[in-house]
Structure 1
Amino acid sequence: MRKILVTGANGQLGSELSVLSVSYPEFEWIFADRTKITLDNLELLNDQLNEIKPNIIFNCGAYTAVDKAETERELAFTINNLAVELIAKYTFENNVKLIHISTDYVFDGSSSSALNEEAKTNPINVYGESKLAGEIACLRENPDSIIIRTSWVYSKFGNNFVKTMQRLMQERDTINVVNDQIGSPTYAADLAQAMMVILESSDWIPGIYNYSNEDEVSWYEFALSIKELGGYNCNVGGISSSSYLTPAKRPKFSLLDKKKIKTLYNLEIPNYKQSLKKIFI
């Protein structure tokens, strides 16, 4: 029985993979939280991988505190770059399949059309820099690995924009949401399913892929969809990024072009609203 190791087990994607795993009993699943796989301690990490001996690794674990990364640069790079480098090296030396999760934050947001996998990277915050460094290390150490860039991830699990909006819309009469950052949300359960489609495909085609749900929206428009589906009475206003300053800059435009993954793996990707409805069931 092939063994799948999932890092970041308690995160949104790790949690959705855990739900999905019951549909794939032909695999032995190892869901590793920070105690089983310590991405911030490389010496320990190497020993842990050698002890688990997986056949497949889904590297969903990451340092994702975008604003805190501005002051915790070393920790962000340890987890998002050096740990990825070590995992990639391990997978290459032991003939282990690796799917590594990355982010739209590797882009600077200056594009006005959907970004494909060949688009120029130029991160504008430490988190994005650390994730791009991880991508480069991953493909250098294991050219046979698959990297999936995703964006605006949400789920029934963990902390995310959808949950925050649900809470605020019930607590307040009015909220303001940034209306000049454009992209597309990703329902973590959809991404988890896409990962299994790739794994079970007869073709393992290494390289970088983009995955998010379909459609182009701003955070403000996303919030309006949450309001509509949740039936909330809260008044939602749109504001510019300059009115809502954060320690880390965010890309203004990071809509991902998904043609490659749809074509090579025959994937049908749902519209974001179609998937968002599942949160309210």
Structure 2
Amino acid sequence: MSPKEENNIRVLVTGGDGQLGKCIKVLEKDYPTLNLSFTSSKDLDITNKKNIAEFFKNNSLDYVINCAAYTNVEQAEKEPDKAYLVNAEGVKKLAEICKKYDATLIHISTDYVFDGYKNTPYIEEDVPNPINEYGKSKLKGEQYIQDILGEHFIIRTSWLYSQFGKNFYKTILQKSTTEEKLTITTSETGTPTNANDLAKFIINIIKSASSKYGIYNYSNLGESTWYSFAYEIVRISDKLDTRNLEKADNYFTLAERPTYSVLNKEKTLKTFPTSIENWKNSLSKLQNKMYDE
């Protein structure tokens, strides 16, 4: 493959029909030098190596942003094989093909690779210890990438939400108008992350042409419980009432979840020319429709 040209950077976004893929799509018009292609699992099945190889053979690529993932944390406990098929084995196949065709892989991972026993923000060098099948499958995918491919960025993020798809933000907005009471857990602390902000950061990595490969944390700044997140969503809406929200110390889920999974962003801020917003500010911007839809 010829060297990456500044004015014609060819980028594939897998999982392009998910919320992060759609947030990247929104940015497309702002970056005319990027040649962005978006695929869904129907167009490109990352669990099918022959399918991936054929796509790469027919499409010269500089970067692959892998947003394709099995993300149903609860269902992963019931069908771990399906989670591993996409989040581990599919990622392995993608990394192998990226290596063959000299493409840089930008892979989206999760705070759930950690057990949550820490009480200070996790740094990239902390030893992962996932406590549910989803987290285990995502960690295995990370390990495959590191074993196979030198040119990679693994971005760990947390509590993604946006104006697209199914996510906590949209669920709270919807249920707050139809249900009298909503019971939200206070037992988990992390950081809500606006997928629009993550999309901009990913594009920023590509535009910077950085070769400082490795693992990076990216979430908005600050921390929250799920209850606090829900409260803020409802508080800044003119139509909803925070009195309909109730705290729950214990909320049963099939999958065990980290009680604390805030990510430290110091390495990210030192490495890339970027700024990161506080989660409340970013949520307010989305709520006020400051992002394009």
Structure-2-length-normalised TM-score: 0.92
Aligned equivalents of 2:93 and 2:56: distance in 1? 10
1:144 to 2:147 alignment: no
Cα distance in structure 2, aligned partners of 1:16 and 1:71: 30
* d(CA) in 2 for partners of 1:172, 1:143: 50
- Alignment partner, residue 275 of structure 2: 268
Q: Unmatched 5+ residue regions in structure 1?
A: none
Query: Is 1:75 aligned with 2:62?
Result: no
Which residue in the other structure is 1:158 paired with? Answer: 165
Secondary structure at the aligned position of 2:247 is classed as strand
Residue number in structure 2 paired with 1:195: 202
Matched, 1:245 2:252: yes
The one-letter code sitting in structure 2 at the alignment partner of 1:116 is: I
RMSD of aligned alpha carbons = 1.2
Aligned twin of 1:179: 186
Which 4+ residue blocks in structure 1 deviate beyond 4 angstroms? Answer: none
Query: Is structure 2 residue 59 aligned with structure 1 residue 52?
Result: yes
AA aligned opposite 1:233: D
Q: What do residues 127-173 of structure 1 show as CA deviations (whole Å, max 9, x unaligned)?
A: 10000000000111102210000000000000000001001111122
Name the CA distance, whole Å, in 2 between partners of 1:203 and 1:128. Answer: 28
* 3-state DSSP of counterpart to 1:249: coil
Residue 259 in structure 1 maps to residue 251 in structure 2: no
**Which residue matches 1:233?**
241
CA distance in 2: counterparts of 1:133 and 1:70, whole angstroms:
16
How many residues were matched structurally?
Answer: 279
Whether the 8 Å CA contact 1:4–1:30 is kept in 2: the answer is yes
**TM-score when scaled to structure 1?**
0.96
* Cα separation, 1, equivalents of 2:59 and 2:45: 13
Q: Does 1:24 align with 2:31?
A: yes
| 1:267 positional shift | 1.6
Aligned counterparts of 1:52 and 1:251: Cα–Cα separation in 2 = 40
Aligned to 1:213: 220
- Render the CA deviation track for 1:21-78: whole Å, top value 9, x for unaligned: 1111112111001111112333323322323332210001101011111122112111
